[in-house]
Amino acid sequence: MNRVVAWAPGWQRLRSGRLGAGWMVVAALFFALMGVFVKVGGRSFGALELLFYRTLFGALMLGGVMVARRRNPLTPNWRGHLQRSLIGYVSMGLLFYALTHLPLATAITLNYTSSLFFTLICLVRLKEPLTRTAALALAVGFGGILLLLRPTFASDMWFAAAMGLASGASAGFAVFQVRELGKMGEAPWRVVFWFFAISSVFGAVLLLLGPGFTPLSAETFWPLLGVGLTGMCGQLAMTRAYKDGSKFLVASFAYLTVAFSAVLGVLLWGDVLPLEALAGILLIVFSGVLAARR
pLDDT in tens, the chain (294 residues): 444 444 445 545 544 455 777 888 999 999 999 999 999 999 999 999 999 999 999 999 889 989 999 998 888 989 999 999 999 999 999 999 999 999 999 999 999 998 889 888 888 888 888 888 889 999 999 999 988 888 776 667 889 999 999 999 999 998 888 888 888 888 888 888 999 999 999 999 999 999 899 999 988 999 999 999 998 888 888 878 877 777 778 778 889 999 999 999 999 999 888 888 899 999 999 998 888 776
Tell me the DSSP string of 31-84: HHHHHHHHHHHTTTS-HHHHHHHHHHHHHHHHHHHHHHTT-----S-HHHHHHH
Q: Give the per-residue pLDDT at 221.
A: 92
Cα angle 51, 269, 88; round to 5: 20
Q: Give the per-residue pLDDT at 240.
A: 80
Q: What is the DSSP letter of 231?
A: H
Q: Give the per-residue pLDDT at 18.
A: 59
Q: Give the per-residue pLDDT at 6.
A: 42
* Confidence (pTM): 0.87
* Alpha helices (H) along the chain: 2-16, 23-41, 47-68, 78-101, 104-111, 114-125, 132-153, 158-183, 188-209, 218-244, 247-253, 256-269, 275-292
Q: Give the per-residue pLDDT at 131.
A: 87
Q: Give the per-residue pLDDT at 16.
A: 47
Q: Give the per-residue pLDDT at 28.
A: 92
Q: Give the per-residue pLDDT at 197.
A: 94
Q: Give the per-residue pLDDT at 245.
A: 77
On whether the CB atoms of residues 270 and 66 are closer than 8 A, the answer is: no
Q: Give the per-residue pLDDT at 104.
A: 94
